[in-house]
Amino acid sequence: MWADLGMNLEMHDQLCAVLPGAIGDVFMSQENRPECMDYFDMVLADVHGLRPSELVEFRKNGGKVFGTFCAYVPDEVIFAAGGIATGLCAGSQFWVPGGERYLPANTCPLIKAMLGARFDKTCPFYRLADVYIGETTCDGKKKAYEILGTDVPLHVMDLPQMKRPKDYLKWADEIKDLIAVVEETTGNKVTEEALAENIHKINLKRQALQRLYDLRKNENVPISGTDTLLISQIAYYDDPERFAAMVNKLCDELEKRVADGVNVAPGKKRILVSGTPMAIPNWKLHNLIETSGGVVVCEETCTGTRYFENQVDESGKTMDEMIQNIANRYMGINCACFTPNTARFDDVVRLAKDSKADGVIDVNLMFCQTYDIEGRSLEERCKAEGIPFLGIETDYTDNDAQQLKTRIGAFIELLG
């Protein structure tokens, strides 16, 4: 399959060779994991086999795959046209040198890894997407899409950067343009019926994730943050219905754990992680926190609450109403690309209180200017609310791991 996808098999072998060790170190070393993590472990262990083979079959039957990079891209319209949306992962240092052949070294590692994964031909998902859907979020991504677009069909959605009434209308307009692109690519019309059905389908996935996050609010923490992060990462590319069913099955087990008083992290300090997303396989910060006396109980990130909070209002009847409802839901995401973005500070404070966090660790991927600049104001706001705060900047390498472990350990110790 990988050869048929035109992948660089030698380099891909090198990438796959490190995965079992990483899984062992990060996941299997944890104690008292829920049994229902089996499914997510299996998806991870065969990350370049299981879902890619499904996508290969889907394409053999004429289906079209759309690769996405951002929580603002509405999956529901892609599925409503009979396509499949898949997040394109870019969380490994393995891809960064490849990206640096095209981008300045002082670019965010997520963007460099995006280009490296595509041009090094070592990620099947990047080979399987028929069309990439970009978006005008940060400057780095915008310019990187120009380079990606020289190699693969790419449609860029023009995301507003403010949240005035006219911006909500504009985003609805952009969604209409996306619908035209997916209709042309798939050859299928997005009908009102299909759109309503898929709005509901993706809402169910969001509800399953919300249920999982609600369970983490308990005094007895039934699942680690590291395991939950893996689930959030898989959410971007797994089949949405199967994924929601598996998360709900896990939640049934976690509810029982809560009732039985099972706690995976007794005596550990509860941490809310905020900031830039952690694309698969970036588990660095969670692993450091959870091996330094903390347990992550919530993520205010795009591999966390920004991905699933707020449902699309399902009361829309006409195409225009449904599209506007989709636009309204996505415009409710508070990314640092927007100005002003004080609603994100409200989110962090609300989530820290709801999840009974002892402190906030705000993580910034190196060279991400928007989150970096916003970090200072977020710190002030948290301090004003009496919430202990630690700001961290890091990349995908392990060069700073020891230093970070010391800082995180000291922060957690200060939490009393």
Distance CA 34, CA 383 (A): 35
Q: How far is the CB of 289 from ligand BJ8 (least distance, A)?
A: 19
Q: How far is the CB of 100 from ligand BJ8 (least distance, A)?
A: 15
Q: How far is the CB of 46 from ligand BJ8 (least distance, A)?
A: 25
Q: How far is the CB of 135 from ligand BJ8 (least distance, A)?
A: 7
Whether residue 322 contacts residue 364, with contact meaning beta carbons closer than 8 Å, is answered with: no
Of residues 84 and 335, the one with the C-beta less far from ligand BJ8: 335
The residues, any chain, with a CB within 8 Å of residue 18's CB and separated by 6 or more, are 94
Q: How far is the CB of 293 from ligand BJ8 (least distance, A)?
A: 27
Whether residue 74 contacts residue 178, with contact meaning beta carbons closer than 8 Å, is answered with: yes
Of residues 71 and 77, the one with the C-beta less far from ligand BJ8: 71
Of residues 103 and 131, the one with the C-beta less far from ligand BJ8: 103
Of residues 79 and 145, the one with the C-beta less far from ligand BJ8: 145
- Which amino acid would we find at residue 143? K
Q: What would you report as the CA-atom Rg of the chain, rounded to the nearest whole angstrom?
A: 20
Of residues 139 and 214, the one with the C-beta less far from ligand BJ8: 139
Determine the length of the chain: 416
Q: How far is the CB of 305 from ligand BJ8 (least distance, A)?
A: 11
Of residues 70 and 235, the one with the C-beta less far from ligand BJ8: 70
Q: How far is the CB of 276 from ligand BJ8 (least distance, A)?
A: 4
Neighbour tally for 285: CB within 10 Å: 24
Distance CA 35, CA 17 (A): 26
Of residues 160 and 388, the one with the C-beta less far from ligand BJ8: 160
- Which amino acid would we find at residue 315? S
Comparing CA positions, the residue from 415, 337, 340 lying closest to residue 377 is 340
Of residues 40 and 145, the one with the C-beta less far from ligand BJ8: 145
Q: How far is the CB of 137 from ligand BJ8 (least distance, A)?
A: 3
Question: Which residues of the chain form contacts with ligand BJ8 (CB under 6 A)?
Answer: 70-72, 108, 110-111, 137-138, 140-141, 276-277, 302, 333, 335, 337, 365, 368, 370-371
Q: How far is the CB of 145 from ligand BJ8 (least distance, A)?
A: 11
Q: How far is the CB of 368 from ligand BJ8 (least distance, A)?
A: 3
Of residues 133 and 265, the one with the C-beta less far from ligand BJ8: 133
Of residues 34 and 281, the one with the C-beta less far from ligand BJ8: 281
Of residues 7 and 88, the one with the C-beta less far from ligand BJ8: 88
225 CB-contact burial (10 Å; exposed 0-12 / middle 13-18 / buried 19+): buried
Q: How far is the CB of 139 from ligand BJ8 (least distance, A)?
A: 8
Distance CA 349, CA 203 (A): 25
